[in-house]
Amino acid sequence: MLPSNYSVIDPTDLLRAAAERVMDIHDTTLGDGNPYVVRFRGRLRMDSIEAYALVSERFRPLGYTALFRNDGGSHAVLAVKGVIDPPASRIWVNYLMFGLTVLSVLFTGGLYGYQGDVPTGVMGWMRLVIAGWPFVLSMLGILLAHELGHYFVARYHKVAVTLPYFIPLPILSPFGTMGAFIMLKSPPTNRRVLLDIGIAGPLAGFVVAVPVLIYGLMTSPVQPLTLLPGQGVSLEGNSIIYILAKLAIFHQFLPAPASFGNLPPWLYMLRYYLLGFPVPLGGKDVLLNQVAWAGWAGLLVTGLNLIPAGQLDGGHALYVLVGQRARRLVPFIIVILVGLGFFWPGWFLWAGLIYFLGRTHAEPLDQITELDPRRKVLAVLALVLFLLVITPIPLRLIGA
Report the CATH number that the domain containing residue 73 is assigned in CATH. Answer: 3.90.1070
Please indicate, yes or no, if residue 376 is contained in any of the structural domains.
yes
Q: How far apart are CA 104 and CA 101, in angstroms?
A: 5
Please indicate, yes or no, if residue 5 is contained in any of the structural domains.
no
Provide the domain limits for residue 244: 223-291
Q: Which of 291, 318, 345 is the last residue of a domain?
A: 291
Same domain (yes/no): 211, 155: yes
Please indicate, yes or no, if residue 285 is contained in any of the structural domains.
yes
Please indicate, yes or no, if residue 4 is contained in any of the structural domains.
no
Count of structural domains within the chain: 3
Angstrom CA distances, 295 to 98, 247, 310, 342, 391, stand at 20, 16, 26, 26, 13
Q: How many residues does the chain have?
A: 400
Please indicate, yes or no, if residue 17 is contained in any of the structural domains.
yes
Q: Which of 291, 307, 331 is the last residue of a domain?
A: 291
**pLDDT profile of the chain (400 residues), mean per 10:** 52 91 93 88 95 95 94 92 88 94 89 62 68 91 96 95 91 85 92 95 97 96 79 84 96 90 87 84 89 96 92 90 86 92 90 81 90 94 95 81
Q: Which of 29, 61, 81 is the last residue of a domain?
A: 81
Same domain (yes/no): 34, 169: no
pLDDT digits (tens, 9 = 90+) for 106-162: 888 887 765 555 556 666 667 777 778 899 999 999 999 999 999 999 999 999 999
Please indicate, yes or no, if residue 316 is contained in any of the structural domains.
yes
pLDDT digits (tens, 9 = 90+) for 89-105: 899 999 999 999 999 99
Same domain (yes/no): 330, 381: yes
Which burial class, exposed, middle or buried, applies to 140 when counting CB atoms under 10 A from its CB (0-12, 13-18, 19+)? buried
Which pLDDT does position 6 carry in this prediction?
45
Same domain (yes/no): 75, 141: no
Same domain (yes/no): 31, 117: no
Same domain (yes/no): 380, 264: no
Please indicate, yes or no, if residue 25 is contained in any of the structural domains.
yes
Please indicate, yes or no, if residue 101 is contained in any of the structural domains.
yes
113 within 8 A of 131, measured Cβ to Cβ:
yes
Same domain (yes/no): 269, 132: no
Instruction: With CA atoms as reference, report the closest residue to 53 among 44, 66, 71.
Output: 66
128 within 8 A of 114, measured Cβ to Cβ:
yes
Same domain (yes/no): 318, 188: yes
Q: Which helix (H) or strand (E) holds 78?
A: strand 74-81
